[in-house]
Amino acid sequence: MEGTKRSEEICLKFPPNVISPGLAALLAQKDKHEKLMDYSGPRLHFQMVVIFVLTQIIHSLLKKLGLPLFISQLLAGILLSPMVFSDQHSLVNISEESVAVLGTVGAFGFVFFLFLSGVKMDLSLTLKSGKKAICIGLLTVVVPLVSCMTTIKLLHEEGNEFSNKSFFLAVTYSGTSFPVIHCLLSDLKILNSELGRLGLSAALIGDMLTLFLTVFSLWVKTGFEKGRKEALIDFGLAMLFIVIVVFVLRPAMKWMVKRTPEAGQIKDICFYLVILAFMMSPRFTDLFRIYFLYGPFIFGLAVPDGPPLGSALVEKLDPVISGLFLPIFATTCGLRFDLSYFKNSNLFAYHQVLGAMVALIIKFGVSLLVPILCKMPTRDSLALAFIMISKGIVEMGSYSIMNDNRVISEDIFAHMTIVIILVASIVPILVKRLYDPSRKYLCFQKRTIMNSRLNQELRLIVCVHVPGNVNSIINQLNASCPTRESSIALDVLHLIKLSGQATPLFITHDKQKKTLSSKSYSENVVVAFEQFERDNWGAVSVTVFTAVSPPNLMYEDICNLAMDRLTSFILLPFHRRWYIDGSIESEDQTVRTLNFDILERAPCSVGILVEGRRNLKGSGIRDPLSSDNSSFYNIAVIFLGGQDDREALALAKRISQDKSVRLTVIHLKAANSLGVILTENDRMLDSAVLNDVKQSVCFTYIEEHVNDGPETSNFLQSIVEDYQLIIVGRRYKTEDPQTLGLQEWCEFQEIGIIGDLLSSADFIRNYSLLIVQQQQQRTV
């Protein structure tokens, strides 16, 4: 029992906001290193450089094992800790000075991380989360907390739960961390999947509840120890701090945002004023008697998320914090760990660890049971349960700072470090095995234009990245002359990069109802396509969506929408645009990567639209793409054979039903059959679709025999000027005698050999180009 009391005394020796993390680290390590030699300034700096370099090397080696970034940094710190390098003359020996300096630098990074986490969070989403997310978020905190407190009370009956910090620690065991779950989902690339969105919403609810319970436990503890008056004073000061942040600082930052031009950057003076206020927030939390880590986080919550202010803070600070300061902090957390702490462990620590394990198990059970009761698939429910129990840098940082400040004893810190390492290492592996969002794209139903009847409504998705995409897409759709007999159900998806926010958004504009955000997005896109719908009333129905998500995950939004809307064709803009003189107007490699992802995963057919060269601004030259240049809109299909070419021909026949559209099918045949790789089935299907063209009086059929790629290139150069739109099949990784010798010159694999040839600088290109890939049938 003496050991138990001594542990409780250590836990209560220092309040959590009395000393700085750097000084606390020095005090925590002083007994262990008091006999070490005194390092001079240059040696200390050299030692810190050596530690940092070795940490990066160890981290790189551990990362190859597939461990999460945070765990590899933490283990790097453990491998460099005094537990391993105990020689006082070693270059990597951790002295008092190095611990103090590294601890301060690391804590600075951790506080910045909490601030940026607050900036990325949008509290308004808590009010718009679904019932399922609210239930999961609340129950996964409350039920484990009650179970943990019950367990600790049964095992450790002495003392008050608030005076010995049992309730405070139970909240940390049972709580949910939004930044940790966000990092996990982002690393697994399921942030904007259906499961990822549910996990984020539940984590946001749970994090806010955890924050309230933590502050509440400190107020109650103050009431037990110092009386109700002091507790009420603490409560009043905390409310005053929140009032100042919400009604003074947040309106001031909103005023800065309003004074920023639309799509402009925040002024530097405004940016640095926000940074100054953040740097002062820990001091203000001391004055208002709030735990010093909560000040920057609460201030971050008050910053308007997204552009221009929130995105500017994240884009400028996050690379430095995540790339330098936060790894140092994770390493310093590992430096504090020592196996010798287990030798001096006492009964109180064992009770706390047992309570933490009970909380973890109950949290997993609740996270699993609630989704199953909501009729979620078992595999998805298991994946969500593991997501909700994940641990990371926030929990490790909290326990490290509590250990430095003597809020918890070293044995509790050592036990919790082991728990965090195990959970954080296992959870990503299990979630990846259980949940694969691409499984739902394995569509066994054919969703192609070939399988759609001419008099059947064509369900089409078009993607918009920049305003220039709108006009080019509408021009092509107008050229197709949709009719009531051959109508189009058009879904427009405006894709916006997620910046300065943590939660992806998916907004539906057709009912003027925003699903997750009160912000205004895509107004110009909505207006343009609504006008297009009015111009083609009865023949076109338009629904506009906006997806705000990370560029590397945008394919999830597109594929999910295609699945939900039973889409037959997705139209994507090419990543490069040209002026009429051949110079590049714009180029976006993230769009190119997205196009590759869609081509690989799409549950339907896909097309990539390469715009014709545009007039230079102010040149006064008439746009050759305008349909006013001719009374007919001439379309050509370059046909070599295969499923992609058949899909391209089906699309061309679909959009050329109007009398003002003239379709020419150019069949390039090999002069000899040597090297032809088409299967017998493909040749039969090709013959069938070509016979329909030959027998029709509405289409023009041209057959040309070529020997190799150069002959194909010369022939195409001679005829392309006669057309406004050329449609070709992608024919990925397919080289026939007609394209022999062109493969090695192909720059853009996503548009195939012929598409790349027609978009090259060798062609005087006043036409638009549409590359088509038929739906790829995949198996599990």
Residue 535: pLDDT over 50: yes
pLDDT value of residue 48: 61
For 458-478, b/e burial (b = at least 16 CB within 10 A) is: bbbbbbbbeeebbebbbbbbe
Whether 595 and 648 share a structural domain: no
pLDDT value of residue 284: 81
CATH classification at residue 253: 1.20.1530.20
Whether 685 and 761 share a structural domain: yes
The CA distance from 429 to 184, in Å, is: 11
Q: Which residue has the higher pLDDT, 55 or 757?
A: 757
742-764 pLDDT, tens digit each: 888 888 889 989 988 888 877 76
User: Positive or negative CA dihedral for 117, 118, 123, 126?
Assistant: positive
pLDDT value of residue 614: 53
Q: Is residue 1 part of a domain?
A: no
pLDDT value of residue 52: 67
- Single-letter residue type at 6: R
pLDDT value of residue 628: 45
Whether 201 and 301 share a structural domain: yes
Whether 564 and 505 share a structural domain: yes
Q: Is residue 328 part of a domain?
A: yes
Whether 356 and 461 share a structural domain: no
Give percent of the chain with pLDDT exceeding 90.
22
Choose the final residue of a domain: 392, 408, 435.
Answer: 435
Residue 18 has phi, psi (to 5 degrees) of -90, -40
- The alpha carbon of residue 36 and the mean position of all alpha carbons in its chain are separated, in whole angstroms, by 47
Q: Which residues does residue 728 pair with via DSSP β-bridges, in sequence order?
A: 638, 771
- The alpha carbon of residue 156 and the mean position of all alpha carbons in its chain are separated, in whole angstroms, by 44
Choose the final residue of a domain: 610, 642, 676.
Answer: 610
Mean pLDDT value across the chain: 80
Residue 461, domain extent: 444-510+522-610
Query: 170-179, 624-633, 699-708, 738-747 — which is least confidently predicted?
Result: 624-633
Q: Is residue 241 part of a domain?
A: yes
- Single-letter residue type at 411: D
Whether 448 and 420 share a structural domain: no
CATH classification at residue 758: 3.40.50.620
Over residues 216-222, the mean pLDDT reads 82
pLDDT band at 324 (very low <50, low <70, confident <90, very high): confident
Q: Which residue has the higher pLDDT, 612 or 5?
A: 612
Q: Is residue 250 part of a domain?
A: yes
pLDDT band at 436 (very low <50, low <70, confident <90, very high): confident
Pairing of strands 505-508, 540-549: antiparallel
Residue 390: pLDDT over 90: yes
Over residues 152-157, the mean pLDDT reads 79
pLDDT band at 613 (very low <50, low <70, confident <90, very high): low
Give percent of the chain with pLDDT exceeding 70.
82
pLDDT value of residue 521: 66
Residue 369 has phi, psi (to 5 degrees) of -70, -45
Over residues 523-550, the mean pLDDT reads 89
Whether 664 and 756 share a structural domain: yes
Residue 37: pLDDT over 50: no
Q: Is residue 32 part of a domain?
A: no
510-526 pLDDT, tens digit each: 644 444 444 556 788 88
Over residues 119-139, the mean pLDDT reads 85
437-475 pLDDT, tens digit each: 877 766 557 888 888 877 788 899 999 998 888 988 988
pLDDT value of residue 727: 93
Helix (H), strand (E) counts: the chain: 27, 13
Choose the final residue of a domain: 413, 435, 457.
Answer: 435
157-165, Cβ contacts within 8 angstroms, sequence gap of 24 or more: 158/1, 158/4, 159/8, 160/224, 162/217, 162/220, 162/221, 162/224, 163/12, 163/221, 163/224, 163/225, 164/8, 164/11, 164/12, 165/11, 165/12, 165/221, 165/407, 165/408
- Picking from 335, 275, 281, 440, the residue whose alpha carbon sits closest to that of residue 92 is 335
Q: Is residue 27 part of a domain?
A: no
Whether 467 and 555 share a structural domain: yes
pLDDT value of residue 40: 44
pLDDT value of residue 383: 94
Cβ-contact 360, 395 below 8 angstroms: no
Where is mean pLDDT largest: 87-96, 452-461, 677-686? 452-461
Over residues 333-347, the mean pLDDT reads 79
229-283 pLDDT, tens digit each: 888 888 888 889 889 988 999 999 989 888 887 767 888 888 899 999 888 887 8
DSSP-derived secondary structure for 10-40: HHTSS-TTSS-HHHHHHHHHHHHHTTSPPPP
Cβ-contact 494, 546 below 8 angstroms: yes
The CA distance from 440 to 4, in Å, is: 54
Where is mean pLDDT largest: 14-23, 65-74, 297-306, 380-389? 380-389
Over residues 700-715, the mean pLDDT reads 88
E strand map for 488-597: 488-497, 505-508, 540-549, 569-573, 576-578, 584-587
The CA distance from 326 to 396, in Å, is: 12
User: How many domains, in total, are found in the chain?
Assistant: 3
pLDDT value of residue 34: 39
Whether 239 and 343 share a structural domain: yes
Q: Is residue 141 part of a domain?
A: yes
Biggest distance spanned by C-alpha atoms of the chain: 101
The CA distance from 436 to 196, in Å, is: 11
pLDDT band at 43 (very low <50, low <70, confident <90, very high): low
Q: Is residue 13 part of a domain?
A: no
Whether 322 and 188 share a structural domain: yes
Whether 682 and 541 share a structural domain: no
Q: How far is CA 145 from CA 95, 169, 174, 366, in A?
A: 39, 10, 5, 12
For 83-121, b/e burial (b = at least 16 CB within 10 A) is: bebeeeeeebbbbbbbbbbbbbbbbbbbbbbbbbbbbbb
Whether 96 and 131 share a structural domain: yes
Residue 175 CB: number of other CB atoms within 10 A? 23
pLDDT value of residue 606: 94
